[in-house]
């Protein structure tokens, strides 16, 4: 039992050491990427992100507007039904002959 606990604690210690080295490497890489950032660059990025967000929202609103019907289908059917019931009084007074 003592050997099992010793090997388990050794494994946990090695795992934590490896994960600490991995975290340190990631932090170092992140610091290298953000070394040249200053407040003007951060503010420009923030403004660009806000503009991009507004553009995406506008595009989504346009796309959603294309899928929503402007006139309900029931209104169109009701209009067509009332139009078909009314008699059409169209007379053709165009009796001109063309040609020779």
Residue 57 to residues 33, 36, 53, 63, 68: CA-CA distances in angstroms? Answer: 30, 31, 6, 10, 16
Q: How far is CA 46 from the centre of its chain?
A: 19
Structure-token match 């039904």, residue found? 81
Write out the residue range of the structural domain in which residue 73 sits. Answer: 48-82
Decide if 73 is inside a domain: yes
For the chain, how many structural domains are there in total?
A: 1
The reply to whether 99 falls in a domain is no
DSSP 87: P
pLDDT digits (tens, 9 = 90+) for 11-31: 999 999 999 999 999 999 999
Residue 53 lies in a domain: yes
Q: Is the residue at 77 inside a domain?
A: yes
pTM: 0.40
Look at residue 39 in the predicted model and tell me its pLDDT.
87
Over the stretch 63-72, which tens digit does the pLDDT of each residue have? 887 766 666 6
Q: What pLDDT does residue 15 have?
A: 98
Q: Would 42 be classed as within a structural domain?
A: no
Residue 78 falls inside a structural domain: yes
Tens digit of pLDDT for each residue in 52-97?
999 999 999 888 877 666 666 777 778 888 887 766 555 556 666 6
Q: Dump the DSSP string for 12-32.
A: HHHHHHHHHHHHHHHHHHHHH
């Amino acid at each position: 039992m003592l050997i099992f606990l010793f090997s388990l604690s050794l494994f946990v210690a090695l795992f934590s050491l490896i994960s600490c080295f991995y975290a340190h490497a990631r932090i170092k890489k992140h610091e290298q990427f953000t070394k040249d950032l200053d407040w003007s660059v951060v503010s420009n990025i923030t403004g660009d992100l806000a503009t991009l967000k507004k553009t995406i929202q506008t595009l989504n609103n346009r796309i959603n507007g294309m899928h929503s019907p402007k006139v309900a289908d029931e209104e169109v059917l009701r209009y067509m039904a009332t139009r078909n019931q009314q008699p059409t009084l169209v007379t053709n007074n165009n009796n001109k002959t063309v040609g020779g």
